[in-house]
Structure formats: structure tokens, C-alpha cells
Amino acid sequence: MTIKGLEPGNRAALLISECQNGITNSRYNDSSLVGQVADRDTIRKVAALAAQFRARNLPVVHCHVTLPQNPDGWYVNCLLAKRLVGRLAAGSIEAASHDDLPVMAGDYVSERHHGMSPFTNTGLDAILRSHQIDTVVLSGVSTNVALFGASIEAVGLGYKVVLAEDCSAGGTAETHQIQISMHLPLLASIASAEGIVAALDAPVTRQTATA
């Protein structure tokens, strides 16, 4: 089965959104999102998909949100931004990648200090351009905010978008289902990790001219 955006000839990168201790790890947080991450086994599945990208020499980018040491540097202009005040300080264990999803050699870490999605005021676009990326494969959290926002930004920048549905989670099961069935399909291809890996390995065939 062909996945739009991962047809042979397209070059893809894996974006891992906000899989940080203070957001997705039950040792540091007990939110409903953490519960969804645990129920869906998201961290293990993201780690497995990241290994597949590394094995194919395709970029893996950990997209983190970190708050500056000076709290005045975090602009509070929405409710979600307010909820992060006092958390995820740059360099802290909370801001680090999930204990079970370490940043590996060759991976990139793209930190943002403002906004709710990974392209906002970061060098992510430049990283992807330097690798001649056509398609971003989104994973992590959350489908209802950061991944939805990432899809909008990526499309606006000219990328194709694929969501690794079984490698993602939303704030609740209901919001995740709404996003993957109603909103995200307008912007991205919804696929499984297995399907994504199969698409990455699909051979490029040369079309022969017909008389």
C-alpha cells in the first residue's frame, strides 16, 4: 500500500515531538496525557521507529520545548503556555528526553522556547533542508496540539506530512480519535509504523516509455 508522501523517491525525516520526562514520563508527571502515552505504549514504539530511521541513515529529530532559566523569557499568551510556567527548565531532567527514549549519536535536538509547535522560532526547517527532506513523519505528543500544529507548519513550509498514528498520543483517547479521523487527514497521511517502514524500503522503479 502506497503512503502519500512516502512514495519511492521521497526522502523522509522522523520528528519526535515532546517525548520529554516532564511531559510523557510517569516518574515526573501524572497527567491524562502521560496515561495515554502509557496505555498506547507510545515511547517504546517511537524508539523502535527511530531505530528504523537511523538504520536507513534518515534524520531523527527530537523536538523539545524548554523554558529559559529566566521565567520572563517564556511568553504566556495562552492557557497551555501558562501551565508550563515553572516546568521544563532548560538543562533540567524534566526537559530531557524520556528516560526510555534517549537521544542517540547522530540524532538532532531542536529546542523551542516559545509557541506550541516545533517549527516556531527554531532551526528545525534548516536541519530538514540540509538533509534535502521532502516528507516529515510525525510521532510523539500530542495529536491534539503539537502534532496538529506541526502538520500545519510543515505544510506551509512545503513539506509533505505523515503521522505515525501508533507512535503518537493525545491528551485523551477521545481527542486523539477526533484528530486522526477528522482533522489531521486534511493535512497528513495517517499510517502505522509498520506501513511507514515498508514504504521506506519500497524500491524506486524506473518507468519505461511506451510506444
The number of beta carbons lying within 10 Å of the beta carbon of residue 98 is 24
Check whether 211 has a pLDDT greater than 60.
no
**What's the mean pLDDT in 31-59?**
98
Closest listed residue to residue 18, CA positions, set 129, 82, 96: 96
Top pLDDT among 209 and 66 is at 66
pLDDT in tens, 107-145: 999 999 989 999 999 999 999 999 999 999 999 999 999
Which pLDDT score, from 0 to 100, does residue 86 have?
84
pTM: predicted TM-score of the whole model, two decimal places: 0.94
Sequence-separated contacts (24+) of 65-69 with Cβ below 8 Å = 65/18, 65/20, 65/23, 65/111, 65/112, 65/113, 66/90, 66/91, 66/95, 66/111, 66/112, 66/113, 67/95, 67/113, 68/113
- CA dist 160 and 155 (Å) reads 6
Reported as a pLDDT band with limits 50, 70 and 90, residue 155 is: very high
**What's the mean pLDDT in 4-12?**
97
Q: What are phi and psi of 12, to 5 degrees?
A: -115, 155
Reported as a pLDDT band with limits 50, 70 and 90, residue 75 is: confident
- CA dist 125 and 59 (Å) reads 13
Reported as a pLDDT band with limits 50, 70 and 90, residue 209 is: very low
- Do the beta carbons of residue 106 and residue 34 sit within 8 Å? no
Tell me the residue type at 74. W
Check whether 72 has a pLDDT greater than 80.
no
Has domain 12-200 been given CATH number 3.50.50.60?
A: no
Break the chain into its structural domains and give their ranges.
12-200
Check whether 210 has a pLDDT greater than 50.
no
Q: What average pLDDT does the chain have? A: 94
Sole residue written with cell 517549527 = 119
